[in-house]
Structure 1
Amino acid sequence: MGTDFRYQYANSWFRQMDKFIHYVNQDGRVNALYSTPSIYTDAKYAANELWPLKTDDFFPYADKPNAYWTGYFTSRPAFKGYVRVLSAYYLAARQLEFFKGKSTSGPNTDALADALAIAQHHDAVSGTQRQHVAADYALRLSIGYKEAEKVVASSLAILTESRSSTGEGNSVTSFQQCPLLNISFCPPSEAALSNGKNLVVIIYNSLGWKREETIRIPVSTERVIVKDSEGKEIESQLLPISSSTSRIGRHYVKAYLGRNPSETAKYWVAFSVSVPPLGFSTYIVATTKEKEGPSSTISTVHTYEATENNTIEVGQGKSVTAFAEQSYGYYSGNDGTDKDPQASGAYVFRPNGTFSMKSENQTRLTVVRGPLLDEVHQQLNSWISQVTRVYKEKEHAEVEFSIGPIPVNDGIGKEIITQITTTMKTNKTFYTDSNGRDFIKRIRDFRKDWELQVNQPIAGNYYPINLGIYLQDNSTELSVLVDRSVGGSSLADGIIELMLHRRLIHDDVTGVGEVLNETVCVPEGCDGLTIIGKFYLRINRIGEGAKWRRTIGQEIYSPLLLAFSEQDGNDWMSSHIPTFSGIDSSSYSLPDNVAIITLQELENRKVLLRLAHLYETGEDKDYSVMANVELKKLFPNKKIKEVAEMSLSANQGRDEMEKRRLAWKVEGGSAEEESKVVRGGPLDPSKLLVELAPMEIRTFLIVVDYIQRWGG
């Protein structure tokens, strides 16, 4: 009953179904009824049978020998990136809304929540919708973002506002944000410095631990200095904005905003920041005159002839050094005209040949060096370029790629991949994440549940990668983390492959009824979509990669949130609160193996809190252990009056849920199988200490009494 689009005719559906049920039951041999998942589950449980236990997943799926549904792992990568960015933004906006106090009127985060919820549809973030539907999803997200942006700005204005002993505050500060910062478009940073004013940068950290990172802001002058929250000048570095980024920035600002940038930024100014948990720090970027002494360090730039591929040295200091070679290639999409008519499309990945990407001219590398980070800029051809970035305080490589418009004038759709190649002996084995949480072991051309017949050795070994993928041999681990969901695999030992972008010109006849050929239009015409994205790679000694994957994975998913204001003089620090933490940060931060995944104010002073253990059992010798979180330290300015533990979805109490939990009989096991699962102990109502076992998520509804206004 149902299926796609059928409920547009719900009245007809139900009328016919009512008749069907009536006549079946009139016969009396079978009882037909409208069922629910609960009724179905209860009936299965009442059968009192032994059930097989499955612990892995169902990927990759195919409904025909040559129709593996693994293309949608990458389809519409821009939309996948948009959903990921706004999911992180929503998490931070909800926290700031809580610190400020949720308003019964005016802007809130609900519209963004609704848009993100709809975007989880199986034909939304998957990229398997038609183009006009994708545009509608993006519109809803944009509307939600605009409202949430106001919440963030007003929350930061209140939290930075300095209040006198009489309770009188300054006028509310205006904050702007830069959603197009990834293409170097940030009007506040260019305007303030161009007008001789100081740029105030508020940096918010939505994670429960202190972060030390290097951020980059586009500026239009090289005469800049940066000061920290205490007013001390700190080291900063100027880097040239690549010609590729500038070109894409101009084109997409015109496409998205309908206008040309008034002044194109010339440089990135990079500086290291330190931000407290669930809190912000303030930095000032100011212009200097030539007579006032040195400004930011200008990076040294050298240009070299290079080979087709990049060789990247990554490792953990002196303890391990390994070389990984990175290259690009593409699969030509099958057009579906052979004896088995199956094309590559929005759902299906069916390659018809593999091609390495050769440089159109002699490849040139531009190497940029400085005190905070080094970069290597490479233009592979007219539509692929990348910047490989290594920060002095980080022990991994960050690769920022730009792909598009993918040329299809030759009548061939293309699916663009990158490969990271090592000499590791990995025995057909690799690991990919499941929903960004636990990792699942994959073995090439093998399924433990059945005898596998491999019809498509490439597409049939592709898996979804939401957080990352890693390889290991007897001494090292190679990990790659991504900034959005993509498809990927290890098709040969020691090699990791990611599919980064796809543009196809044939429909795969699986329901979309449209080709996956995304374009971006300006008044002069339309061209194929360009993607700017990032992935991160690191090589560790065996057994030590989990720390990096889990910590950096959280930081990738929850990037620092930047907001901008400006000032005429130098009195910002004295007239505003320069640093803030929502928890008792002077003496407390979350354990390194725990993340806050929800902190949200509901009605009647209730707070929804979800805490997640980030590690699996046995994943890391130090962090795959029980963790404790002190609720009193998470709410230092509020008195906790009541705490109730809830189900994951927070729609019923945990005790109530446990009473109704069914104990299933398992083949080769027992009804007590569930009791072997390790969970944190009950919450102590006096100590308010939450215990979390590996991979456990616990959800609480907390009633708080406001003792003190935040920022006061």
Structure 2
Amino acid sequence: MRADRAMPTFRTPLKATSSWNIFFNIDDLWQRLWLGHSCHATMPNMLNVHLVPHTHDDVGWLKTVDQYYYGDRNDIQHAGVQYILDSVVDQLLKNPDRRFIYVETAFFFRWWKQQSDGMRQTVKQLVNEGRLEFVNGGWCMSDEATTHYSAVIDQMTMGLRFLNETFGPCGRPRVAWHIDPFGHAREHASMFAQMGYDGFFFGRLDYQDRDRRRTDKDQELLWRASDSLTPPMADLFTGILPNGYNPPDGFCWDQSCDDPPIRDDPDLEDYNVDDVVNRFLMISLVYKTNHIIMTMGSDFQYENANLWYKNLDKLIHYVNARQANGSKVNVLYSTPSCYLQELHRANLTWSLKTDDFFPYADNAHNFWTGYFTSRPALKRYERLSNSYLQTCNQLEVLGGPFSGSGPFGHDDSWTMRRAMAVAQHHDAVSGTEKQHVANDYARRLADGWQHCQVVVSNSLAALSGSSAKRIYCDNLNISVCPLTESSHKFSVNVYNPLARPVTWPVRLPVNGTAYTVLDANGKPVDSQVVPVSGATRQVRKNRGSAANELLFQVQAPPLGFSTYSVSLQRRGPPPASTRPRTPPAIQNKFLRATFDPDTGLLSSLSNLETKQTIRLTQNFYWYNASDGNSSVSNQPSGAYIFRPNSSTPFVISRTAKTESLQTSVVQEVRQWFSPWVSQVVRLYADSRALELEWTVGPLPVDDDLGKEVITRLDTSIDSSGIFYTDSNGREVLQRKKDFRPTWDLEQTEPIAGNYYPINSRAYIKDDVNQLTVVTDRSQGGGSIQNGSLEIMLHRRLLYDDVRGVGEPLNETSDVFPEGLVARGRLLLTLDRPQSAADTHRPLAQEVVLQPLLTFTSGDLHPNTRLEFSGLQDALPPAVHLLTLSQWGEDSVLLRLEHQYQSGESKQHTQPVTVNLQKLFSTLEVLGASELNLSANQWKEEMTRFDWKIRAGEKPRPRRPADPSVWEVTLKPMEIRTFMLRVRLR
């Protein structure tokens, strides 16, 4: 591991001696005492205004991460994070009363590495004295709509680990701080609660919701963020900041602001102290207590911190001087933790919220629901990269020391971890950045893939006993793989990152017409050669030359691999051929999908096991994007905002040209709707899901109108205007058309105002049928009509939506100069509502953590191990292995989760017990200790504020510790995190 890329070491918490428990108990107690000592005193009989100096530093947006840090490309935006930190530290040292909070560990980590030992000691002193406080503390401030929970947990863990190791308990954030994300997910609140945060503050919520809360003095509340976890496990105090994250109008004193400074020389004609103080005292802030929080800062501010602090010092002095004349306002430097402590001391009761804060609108026609789909290719790449990172982490552990240093070089997973962490930023995977920044995010991920390929190759060499060169084919989705296209004999290694066996379809580009496929036991596997579709040829252009695809299904053991040998036959049956017709149906033993012979469209879907049938028609449409020239509103669609200029989408074609393919491995209906929209409806032999592989683009804009393309599923299900979406890939929430659970909605955008983020799945149901759609990336969608579900697939827009990015969402590339082409998959299941989760939960996990294919050319060495599992036995169906990653030389981080919600499955919603010592096949577990979700505190020592939601309500009892450290019981939706001390068997 190169020194400049080394992950900070961490005190490995293991229950080896009681001294560890004493140490961490002191840590938590010390942090509470430190908080009380570092906060300025407040006045009990006055209105206390907590001034919070802060900067909001996007980890990429208009400029790349590097450009923001160094202050490069100031022609785009004047911003230099390194200078902000330099300046703030200098100004904090000049006055011990001053405070500052910092959020983005990605930037702070980089700055810290460049500091001298003397400066590091100075900063540690500021942190220890509470003058510099870290809030949130993740590698970035993640998006909440388009991120998957596993990636969010990873990036939070990485940032908090660095702070914990560098500063100890005084550097541990107590407050989650998401001041800029564009809507707020319930699952994020649940995760923050399980990470030990006392509270959560944000700035953006729907304008109607904000108006109602201001009127009712309900801007601070208790968010109960899980229907399954026992309170207060997922309860989180939540505060809505009064000015977003900006200072009040007229009180911005950054070099980027135009507000006049406080001129306090009474001999000067422009003396303005009285005017400033009077305006400040007139600010109307409606909260329940005699404490209010005021954010003093904004995007990339404090590069010249002296401007801010000199004026804030004066503001505090002159406002508080009015107390001698009877003023009841007290102003002080503060932090979110200090403010939250005062709210807790108030001992009031708070309202309870159980839904989320989506969708977000800042005005009647300005719904920020377009970014749920913006940049669909980047969203897919991020999701694939998350899967690859988990595989890389697992193999880094299972391969032992050999994985970091083996026949394929020296490397580790750090580059990929950092790239994935940056990609979670709310202007990254969200798709709301400039094009050159999106390219930089993709480049970082690609660099991470290259580093992890070394780790994976080394690990597979160690586990298989073969050091044959491994080939990676990253363009299989467009049938490109030079090895399989040209080799007469090769092997396919299938690594499964799930803790249960999986069956997975493999499609390899080939030029032969017949192949023999053997599994790890030397048994023949049913395989078929089929022609590459015309749509695939069109997308790949000149990047491959395969005429055919070799299809077969593989089975891979839990947390392990299986190897398949492929040989070209000299003589064999000809490839399967397509027929230019629409078949009446395609079916396997589980599902039957019928087609209308006149239109070529789907007409019904049946579950053959349960004898269910629904009418199902699926087609493609596009919304005409508003250009802003409207008498109603001048708001155009853009990277953030979805605003169609009509509630009725345009159908791309009412009929599809079709050809069909039927083999023993797969049945397909290939559909063409237009030169820029095609689809394959596909059913594999052993699949419980119907696959819709869509290809959309380049979106034509010759008519000077942007297009937002959807697919719509119209069914016979009586959904009553209700549909369901997941929250960051975990718990499912009910959505109702034109309805918000906590206020009376005045709907002004009937389409965009009914769109919600779909991270991994959505469904509609009635008493008999449930149709679930599993997505392969984050997308936006809604149920606009009864029995209908629509999902937005692609967007191309010609106008900027005036939210700061400053360019239209008009993606092109060297390969696609005429416009980006996106390809993806939707998986459809039909079940009884009471058992649907038994299908869609594991299916969604398979899509998120899909098997990794690696290839070797020619014959393998006879002693090569062809099959391996890292587990002694598969985990129970309800249990998902969320994290397995190297932490120290002899320690690994393990997360296990119960992946079902309470009551959603008759079979799988009971508590499940797992024995940690009997978990792994190659690792002997010597010690274990439980941590909180973010792995920066002992679980048993984690303390959080208790909050009252009704008069006289007492805090719920906390969960007792398991009697055995080895026997771990998981209840529905519970994630449990462990540090294990291990050695290779």
TM-score after normalising by structure 1: 0.90
Aligned counterpart, 1:73? 372
Structure 1 residue 126 and structure 2 residue 406: aligned? Answer: no
Structure 1 residue 337 and structure 2 residue 618: aligned? Answer: no
For residues 146 and 554 of structure 1, do their structure 2 counterparts lie closer, same or farther at Cα, with a shift above 3 Å needed?
same
Aligned counterpart, 2:166? none
Q: Which has the higher strand share?
A: 1
* Higher relative contact order (Cα pairs below 8 Å, separated by 6+ residues): 1
Aligned counterpart, 2:339? 40
CA distance in 2, matches of 1:222, 1:58: 54
Structure 1 residue 178 and structure 2 residue 473: aligned? Answer: yes
For residues 20 and 351 of structure 1, do their structure 2 counterparts lie closer, same or farther at Cα, with a shift above 3 Å needed?
same
Gapped runs of 5+ residues in structure 1?
162-169, 254-260
> Residue 117 of structure 1 is aligned with which of 421, 437, 451?
421
Q: CA deviation at 1:184?
A: 0.6
Q: CA deviation at 1:325?
A: 0.7
Q: Counterpart of 2:311 in 1: which secondary structure?
A: helix
Structure 1 residue 615 and structure 2 residue 615: aligned? Answer: no
Structure 1 residue 701 and structure 2 residue 982: aligned? Answer: no
> Residue 550 of structure 2 is aligned with which of 242, 259, 269?
269
> Residue 559 of structure 2 is aligned with which of 278, 301, 304?
278
Q: Counterpart of 2:680 in 1: which secondary structure?
A: strand
For residues 416 and 669 of structure 1, do their structure 2 counterparts lie closer, same or farther at Cα, with a shift above 3 Å needed?
farther
CA distance in 2, matches of 1:501, 1:432: 19
Aligned counterpart, 2:120? none
Structure 1 residue 324 and structure 2 residue 616: aligned? Answer: yes
Q: Deviations 1:189-231 (Å, cap 9, x if unpaired)?
A: 11222xxxx1110001000001123222111111211111111
How do 1:284-363 residues align onto structure 2 when only pairs under 5 Å count?
Answer: 284-290=565-571, 294=572, 298=576, 301-304=579-582, 306-307=598-599, 309-339=601-631, 340-353=633-646, 354-359=648-653, 363=656
Structure 1 residue 592 and structure 2 residue 877: aligned? Answer: yes
Aligned counterpart, 1:671? 954
CA distance in 1, matches of 2:437, 2:385: 18
| 2:513–2:575 CA contact under 8 A, matched in 1 | no
| 1:73–1:487 CA contact under 8 A, matched in 2 | yes
Structure 1 residue 91 and structure 2 residue 390: aligned? Answer: yes
| 2:506–2:552 CA contact under 8 A, matched in 1 | yes
Gapped runs of 5+ residues in structure 2?
1-53, 59-77, 88-254, 256-301, 324-328, 583-596
Q: CA deviation at 1:425?
A: 1.1
CA distance in 1, matches of 2:830, 2:968: 34
Aligned counterpart, 2:786? 493
Give the partner amino acid of 1:87: N
Q: Deviations 1:615-644 (Å, cap 9, x if unpaired)?
A: 111111111110112212222333322111
CA distance in 2, matches of 1:205, 1:62: 41
Q: CA deviation at 1:275?
A: 1.0
| 1:205–1:279 CA contact under 8 A, matched in 2 | yes
Q: Percent identity?
A: 40
Q: CA RMSD in A?
A: 2.0
Give the partner amino acid of 2:664: P
For residues 296 and 277 of structure 1, do their structure 2 counterparts lie closer, same or farther at Cα, with a shift above 3 Å needed?
farther
Q: Counterpart of 2:862 in 1: which secondary structure?
A: helix
> Residue 760 of structure 2 is aligned with which of 467, 470, 477?
467
Q: Deviations 1:52-101 (Å, cap 9, x if unpaired)?
A: 11111000110000000000000000000000000011001111111112
How do 1:470-485 residues align onto structure 2 when only pairs under 5 Å count?
Answer: 470-485=763-778
| 1:472–1:542 CA contact under 8 A, matched in 2 | yes
Q: Deviations 1:295-322 (Å, cap 9, x if unpaired)?
A: 5873563434741633242425352222
> Residue 638 of structure 1 is aligned with which of 920, 923, 939?
923
Give the partner amino acid of 2:474: P
CA distance in 1, matches of 2:395, 2:976: 22
Structure 1 residue 2 and structure 2 residue 78: aligned? Answer: no
Give the partner amino acid of 1:91: Q
> Residue 191 of structure 1 is aligned with which of 469, 479, 486?
486
CA distance in 1, matches of 2:644, 2:458: 50
Q: Counterpart of 2:805 in 1: which secondary structure?
A: coil
CA distance in 2, matches of 1:482, 1:668: 44
Q: CA deviation at 1:44?
A: 1.8
Alignment length, in residue pairs?
665
Q: Which has the larger radius of gyration?
A: 2
CA distance in 2, matches of 1:471, 1:74: 20
Which deviates more, 212-221 or 351-360?
A: 351-360
| 1:313–1:323 CA contact under 8 A, matched in 2 | yes
> Residue 459 of structure 2 is aligned with which of 136, 143, 155?
155
> Residue 449 of structure 1 is aligned with which of 722, 727, 742?
742
Which deviates more, 32-41 or 114-123?
A: 32-41
Aligned counterpart, 1:140? 444
CA distance in 2, matches of 1:289, 1:446: 64
TM-score after normalising by structure 2: 0.65
Q: Deviations 1:164-185 (Å, cap 9, x if unpaired)?
A: xxxxxx6x21111111111111
Give the partner amino acid of 1:351: P
Which deviates more, 184-193 or 37-46?
A: 37-46
CA distance in 1, matches of 2:454, 2:952: 54
Aligned counterpart, 2:515? 224
Aligned counterpart, 2:143? none
Which deviates more, 206-215 or 54-63?
A: 206-215
Which deviates more, 270-279 or 82-91?
A: 270-279
Give the partner amino acid of 1:324: L
CA distance in 1, matches of 2:674, 2:828: 23
Aligned counterpart, 1:242? 533
Q: Counterpart of 1:698 in 2: which secondary structure?
A: strand
Q: CA deviation at 1:589?
A: 1.0
> Residue 834 of structure 2 is aligned with which of 543, 563, 571?
543
For residues 647 and 175 of structure 1, do their structure 2 counterparts lie closer, same or farther at Cα, with a shift above 3 Å needed?
same
| 1:236–1:296 CA contact under 8 A, matched in 2 | no
For residues 45 and 463 of structure 1, do their structure 2 counterparts lie closer, same or farther at Cα, with a shift above 3 Å needed?
same
